[in-house]
Amino acid sequence: MKRAVSLRGVRGAGAWVGAVGLALAGAWSGAALAGDLTGHVDLVSRYYLRGQTSTYGNSTPLGNAGADAPESDHVTPQWGADYAHESGFYAGYWGSTINYSYRQLGESYRDRSITDFQKDKSIENDLYAGYNGTLGDWGYSAGLTYYVYVNGAHSNAPESKLALSYGPVTLSAQTLLQDVVWGNQGDTYWSAVYTRALPYQLSFTATLGFYTYRKEGKYNGTEDTLSGTACGAGEAFIVNGCYAGKTPVGSAFRHLTLGLTQPIADTGLTWGAQFIVGGRNRFDVKQDNRAVVSLSYGF
């Protein structure tokens, strides 16, 4: 049950963000220097967040209608834009529809009578900025993402990002900075990404994701923080109640995602396919293996 989830990263490996668009050279007026602006619109067969294919909860999945994983269980539109300044500064935006309501989910923390999580479905908006630099053969990056949900409650939050790259490998850590219904302050998503160009303009990406969790938070843990009462043995608190099942863990392998992309001639379109090897969520519940396909248009 999604009584909890990220990268969202920006939504990163667990969500198919789509192709990077064709670069459009731009220039600031006045003293500012030129930069590159790209955009994309995508259709994905499913929206899985960082390997969460089955459930965010601590027991049997309730399904998407119960505000559970995946973020969207049908064909989903996504979109975004990125700006990269030659100084190393970058900024961008990524968005997606979601097939349930973070407003209903968040308000259910105080109103335990809420059971309809399909009302007022949410739109996720990821706003991010930071700096990319190099030191010899190494690359580094530091940035911040702010997650904003249209139709959301207790769901908006910032997340820091630090990354180090060498050749085709990038290592990164993304840390949630606030308690929200989908995570606890201090939760950190660790990822290792390997990219390789293949013949026929194919591009291969492998992403290994791992999480370290803060076990206790306002919306996820072992205590009903609204009433101040502890859950019973074999129960966990997830947004709006104590549920029977597994209890929180401090860390877990989250997913291995293998992906291919290829442009379609000179149309601006790119097809993509991913296979997600599911790991475990914050309650040590095994996630299913899943495949995702996408079609993206870059501009």
Instruction: Tell me what the mean pLDDT of segment 65-85 comes to.
Output: 97
Report the distance separating Cα 21 and Cα 268, nearest Å: 8
3-state secondary structure of 103: helix
Tell me the backbone φ, ψ of residue 64, rounded to 5 degrees.
-60, -35
pLDDT band at 33 (very low <50, low <70, confident <90, very high): low
pLDDT in tens, 99-135: 999 999 999 999 999 999 999 999 999 999 999 999 9
Q: In this model, does residue 14 exceed pLDDT 50?
A: no
pLDDT value of residue 21: 34
pTM: 0.90
Given a contact cutoff of 8 angstroms between Cβ atoms, the answer to whether 185 and 178 are in contact is: yes
pLDDT value of residue 24: 30
Following CA atoms 218, 223, 227, 229 in sequence, which dihedral angle do they give, to the nearest 10 degrees?
Answer: -160
pLDDT band at 171 (very low <50, low <70, confident <90, very high): very high
Mean pLDDT of the chain: 91
Contacts of 81 (CB under 8 A, 6+ apart): 37, 38, 39, 40, 92, 93
pLDDT in tens, 179-206: 999 999 999 999 999 999 999 999 999 9
pLDDT value of residue 69: 97
pLDDT value of residue 249: 98
pLDDT value of residue 244: 98
Q: In this model, does residue 76 exceed pLDDT 90?
A: yes
Residue 148 pairs in a beta bridge with 125
Following CA atoms 274, 149, 209, 268 in sequence, which dihedral angle do they give, to the nearest 10 degrees?
Answer: 30
Given a contact cutoff of 8 angstroms between Cβ atoms, the answer to whether 36 and 7 are in contact is: no
Instruction: Tell me what the mean pLDDT of segment 254-281 comes to.
Output: 98
pLDDT band at 145 (very low <50, low <70, confident <90, very high): very high
pLDDT in tens, 48-61: 999 999 999 999 99
DSSP H helical ranges for the chain? 102-107
pLDDT value of residue 3: 35
pLDDT value of residue 29: 36
pLDDT value of residue 132: 98
Report the distance separating Cα 82 and Cα 89, nearest Å: 11
pLDDT value of residue 241: 97
Q: Which two tokens stand for residue 266?
A: 């000179």
Q: In this model, does residue 1 exceed pLDDT 70?
A: no
| pLDDT greater at residue 97 or residue 28 | 97
Q: In this model, does residue 34 exceed pLDDT 90?
A: no
| Percentage of residues in the chain having pLDDT higher than 70 | 89
Instruction: Tell me what the mean pLDDT of segment 247-259 comes to.
Output: 98
Report the distance separating Cα 122 and Cα 6, nearest Å: 15
Instruction: Tell me what the mean pLDDT of segment 274-299 comes to.
Output: 98
Report the distance separating Cα 8 and Cα 258, nearest Å: 18
pLDDT value of residue 149: 98
Instruction: Tell me what the mean pLDDT of segment 9-38 comes to.
Output: 46
